[in-house]
């Protein structure tokens, strides 16, 4: 090899290439910049979309780091019952998932379910120190009531839950069939909540078994009685037979272990989740089931997966149709008269209103009709001062009603009626009650900064943030959702989403056993890996790799990076290459 280090004939030992011979640290290239990068965590759209207010991106990050226990703990900060929501939530988180722009959304609900089950298998939590003297009464042990009780108990309040039914769980137990939510899961989830020192008094309906005045010994009350009164479908002649029944009443009977005889032909009226639950439960009792819905499949409020499963199991659907009259013979239902509908102009909900189609009448054979067109609340038990508007209690964002110390939430407030919304409402009530009680006891407390507690500008509140116990380090977070335009898709590869495994449709009509088996361990890991941690630094280190000035260093505490602005030239590569929009550039002040 010829030696390329030989000096030139001019006698000076000049290397053959431009190579530094001493440190270049004296050259403070940072003085060149006119824009500078910074780490700025934003909010992942899943978090912003979650009605519960869960740091989904956060627990997916921890799972991705192999920190499963911390992930479960973070999940449980905001959601008292992930094993339940992982099974029954309509997962709007996935609707927001940026990954849909790359391939398909992350199967967040499946990950939550598995993580929830992992948490369920761990020893029950110890009851927290009763740091507070105040006692809080919670009316209703559905998701809203239990969430409020859970969060208050964790702060240290003494909570008693009053439940009208013989067992706790509210609509989770009464309304949701076992094939969607096994009772063993629900029982264990509730046991863990009760283990926080919460007293749950069942078969105690406030207003019926216990007068409201008995609650005077409590410092605050949260009423979450749910919506249990089925709306009247206004079918002529329905009262001539017992076989035109409210669907919810049927579900409660089945879910309590009853196996009513419905006959060969069952017609379910409605297009929501209650209708799907009625149809699939009726199918399991041996009937042939047709769902009658007055709009089209596009307007159905039911979770699409529920509709899909109902169809797979053999439920028939007839759209743009509504029952008008029942035909009974000797007290037995024999059929119904129906009206064919068509879609007219949109109503106040934005959905096109169905209007009768002229000469569109038909009849159907029916041995039983289950009506599931929505439920109303019975709020008679509430004290007079609580303002009721449109059938629900008028409350503020923290569930405070128009009467002092009375908070109302869940289905009894003006909310979308979902388990997730109820859980979110219970959490907001806990924040509201905690704040109200502290203020009352003379503590100097600033009003909760709702904007700062929210996941994104419109998401639910984080109680971990409110309590100052968010375990994740966030770099100067801004409450802005990281949309697809914030992402750098060049750094992600397509990977198909794993769908839950289901019981074969042919077998399941004979059983109320769980139909959805979730994901395997490997698939669960894959889904965790598919998370792009939108808007949040997940320590991928691309910034560090791309920085041409080696001006980015890992922080000593392991929580992300710091930028040595003495050398950062402000080229912006780090921010441009950040796969997840967790960096921003700003102009230098001159």
Whether 202 and 162 have beta carbons less than 8 Å apart is answered as no
In the bound state with other proteins, the residue whose beta carbon lies nearer, of 29 and 403, is 29
CA nearest to 434, candidates 134, 223, 194, 139: 134
CA nearest to 299, candidates 346, 336, 258, 260: 346
Rounded least distance, CB 3 to other proteins, Å: 8
Of the candidate residues 12, 298, 331, 390, the single one contacting other proteins (CB under 8 A): 12
Rounded least distance, CB 158 to other proteins, Å: 60
Residues 359-398: x where in contact with other proteins by CB under 8 A, - otherwise, as a string: ----------------------------------------
In the bound state with other proteins, the residue whose beta carbon lies nearer, of 139 and 552, is 552
Compute the Cα dihedral for 232, 236, 240, 243 and give only its sign.
negative
In the bound state with other proteins, the residue whose beta carbon lies nearer, of 355 and 550, is 550
Q: Cβ–Cβ contacts within 10 Å for residue 473, how many?
A: 13
Rounded least distance, CB 13 to other proteins, Å: 9
Which two structure tokens, joined as six digits, stand for 172? 């989770």
Rounded least distance, CB 490 to other proteins, Å: 9
Residues 315-344: x where in contact with other proteins by CB under 8 A, - otherwise, as a string: ------------------------------
Whether 197 and 127 have beta carbons less than 8 Å apart is answered as yes
First to last CA, the chain: 53
Q: Which stretch binds other proteins (CB under 8 A): 2-10, 156-164, 198-206, 528-536?
A: 2-10
Distance (Å, whole) CA 320 – CA 519? 36
Q: Which stretch binds other proteins (CB under 8 A): 14-22, 153-161, 395-403, 551-559?
A: 14-22
Q: Which stretch binds other proteins (CB under 8 A): 12-20, 379-387, 469-477, 574-582?
A: 12-20
Q: What is the dihedral of CA 243, 244, 247, 249, to 10 degrees?
A: -60
In the bound state with other proteins, the residue whose beta carbon lies nearer, of 24 and 65, is 24
Rounded least distance, CB 550 to other proteins, Å: 9
For Cα atoms 106, 112, 116, give the angle at the middle one, nearest 5 degrees.
165
In the bound state with other proteins, the residue whose beta carbon lies nearer, of 8 and 123, is 8
SS3 category, 36: strand
In the bound state with other proteins, the residue whose beta carbon lies nearer, of 7 and 471, is 7
Rounded least distance, CB 6 to other proteins, Å: 8
Instruction: List CB contacts of 575: < 8 A, sequence separation 6 or more.
Output: 37, 543, 583, 584, 585
CA nearest to 30, candidates 573, 562, 578, 588: 588
In the bound state with other proteins, the residue whose beta carbon lies nearer, of 2 and 217, is 2
Which two structure tokens, joined as six digits, stand for 497? 């989403």
In the bound state with other proteins, the residue whose beta carbon lies nearer, of 271 and 579, is 579
Rounded least distance, CB 545 to other proteins, Å: 12
In the bound state with other proteins, the residue whose beta carbon lies nearer, of 1 and 261, is 1
Rounded least distance, CB 1 to other proteins, Å: 6
Distance (Å, whole) CA 286 – CA 266? 10
CA nearest to 413, candidates 399, 427, 423, 402: 399
In the bound state with other proteins, the residue whose beta carbon lies nearer, of 2 and 476, is 2
Rounded least distance, CB 554 to other proteins, Å: 15
Rounded least distance, CB 33 to other proteins, Å: 18
Rounded least distance, CB 488 to other proteins, Å: 14
Which two structure tokens, joined as six digits, stand for 100? 């849909």
Q: Please provide residue 30's backbone torsions phi and psi, each rounded to the nearest 5 degrees.
A: -60, -20
CA nearest to 88, candidates 189, 196, 227: 189
Rounded least distance, CB 19 to other proteins, Å: 5
Of the candidate residues 14, 28, 184, 256, the single one contacting other proteins (CB under 8 A): 14
- In what helix (H) or strand (E) does residue 323 lie, and over which residues does it extend? strand 321-329
For other proteins (CB under 8 A), the number of binding residues is 20
Q: Which stretch binds other proteins (CB under 8 A): 15-23, 81-89, 346-354, 447-455?
A: 15-23
DSSP string, 95-148: HH-GGGGTSS---HHHHHHHHHHHHHHSPPPPPPP-----EEEEE--SHHHHHH
Rounded least distance, CB 547 to other proteins, Å: 14
Whether 94 and 43 have beta carbons less than 8 Å apart is answered as no
In the bound state with other proteins, the residue whose beta carbon lies nearer, of 27 and 511, is 27
SS3 category, 159: strand
**Residue ranges in 16-75 that form contacts with other proteins under rule CB under 8 A:** 16-21, 24
DSSP string, 380-408: TTS-TTS-EETTEE---TT-B-SSTTEEE
> With binding defined as CB under 8 A, does residue 493 bind other proteins?
no
Q: Which stretch binds other proteins (CB under 8 A): 9-17, 91-99, 126-134, 243-251?
A: 9-17
In the bound state with other proteins, the residue whose beta carbon lies nearer, of 16 and 304, is 16
In total, the chain counts a number of residues equal to 590
> With binding defined as CB under 8 A, does residue 8 bind other proteins?
yes
> With binding defined as CB under 8 A, does residue 5 bind other proteins?
yes
- In what helix (H) or strand (E) does residue 191 lie, and over which residues does it extend? helix 183-194
Q: Which stretch binds other proteins (CB under 8 A): 1-9, 212-220, 260-268, 440-448?
A: 1-9
Binding site for other proteins (CB under 8 A): 1-10, 12, 14-21, 24
């Amino acid at each position: 090899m010829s030696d390329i280090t030989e000096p030139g004939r001019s006698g000076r030992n000049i290397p053959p290439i431009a190579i530094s011979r001493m440190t270049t640290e004296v050259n403070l290239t940072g003085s060149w910049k006119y824009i500078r990068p910074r780490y700025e965590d934003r909010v992942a759209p899943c978090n912003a979309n979650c009605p519960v207010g869960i740091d989904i991106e956060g627990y997916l990050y921890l799972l991705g780091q192999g920190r499963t226990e911390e992930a479960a703990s973070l999940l449980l900060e905001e959601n008292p019952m992930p094993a339940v929501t992982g099974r029954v939530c309509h997962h709007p988180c996935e609707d927001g998932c940026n990954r849909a722009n790359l391939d398909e959304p992350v199967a967040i609900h499946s990950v939550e379910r598995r993580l929830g089950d992992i948490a369920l298998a761990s020893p029950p939590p110890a009851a927290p120190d009763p740091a507070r003297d105040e006692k809080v009464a919670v009316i209703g042990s559905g998701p809203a009531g239990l969430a409020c009780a859970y969060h208050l108990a964790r702060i240290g309040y003494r909570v008693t839950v009053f439940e009208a039914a013989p067992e706790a769980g509210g609509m989770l137990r009464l309304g949701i069939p076992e094939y969607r939510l096994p009772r063993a899961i629900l029982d264990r989830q509730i046991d863990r909540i009760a283990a926080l020192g919460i007293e749950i008094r069942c078969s105690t309906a406030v207003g019926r078994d216990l007068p409201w005045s008995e609650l005077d010994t409590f410092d605050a009350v949260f009423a979450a009685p749910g919506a249990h009164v089925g709306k009247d479908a206004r079918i002529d002649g329905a009262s001539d037979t017992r076989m035109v029944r409210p669907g919810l009443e049927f579900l409660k009977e089945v879910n309590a272990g009853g196996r009513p005889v419905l006959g060969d032909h069952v017609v379910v009226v409605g297009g929501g989740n209650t209708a799907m639950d009625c149809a699939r439960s009726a199918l399991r009792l041996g009937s042939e089931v047709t769902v009658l819905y007055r709009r089209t499949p596009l307007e159905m409020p039911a979770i699409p997966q529920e509709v899909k499963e109902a169809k797979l199991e053999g439920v028939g659907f007839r759209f743009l149709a509504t029952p008008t009259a029942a035909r009974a013979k000797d007290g037995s239902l024999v059929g119904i008269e129906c009206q064919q509908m068509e879609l007219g102009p949109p109503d106040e909900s934005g959905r096109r209103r169905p209007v009768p189609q002229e000469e569109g009448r038909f009849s159907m054979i029916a041995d039983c009709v289950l009506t599931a067109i929505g439920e109303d609340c019975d709020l008679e038990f509430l004290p007079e001062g609580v303002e009721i508007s449109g059938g629900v209690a008028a409350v503020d964002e923290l569930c405070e009603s128009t009467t002092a110390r009375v908070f109302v939430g869940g289905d009894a407030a003006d909310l979308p009626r979902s388990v997730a919304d109820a859980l979110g409402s219970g959490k907001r009530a806990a924040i509201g009650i905690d704040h109200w009680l502290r203020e009352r006891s003379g503590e100097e407390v600033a009003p909760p900064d709702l904007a700062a507690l929210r996941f994104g500008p419109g998401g639910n509140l984080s109680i971990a943030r409110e309590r100052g116990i968010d375990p994740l380090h966030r770099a100067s977070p801004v409450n802005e959702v990281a949309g697809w335009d914030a992402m750098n898709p060049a750094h992600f590869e397509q990977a198909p989403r794993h769908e839950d495994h289901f019981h074969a449709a042919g077998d399941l009509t004979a059983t109320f056993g769980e139909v959805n088996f979730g994901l395997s361990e490997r698939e669960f890991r894959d889904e965790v890996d598919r998370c792009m941690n939108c808007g949040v630094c997940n320590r991928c280190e691309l910034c560090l790799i791309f920085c041409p000035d080696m001006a980015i260093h890992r922080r000593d505490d392991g929580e992300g990076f710091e930028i040595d602005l003495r050398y950062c030239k402000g080229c912006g590569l780090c921010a441009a290459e950040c796969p997840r929009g967790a960096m921003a550039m700003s102009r230098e002040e001159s």
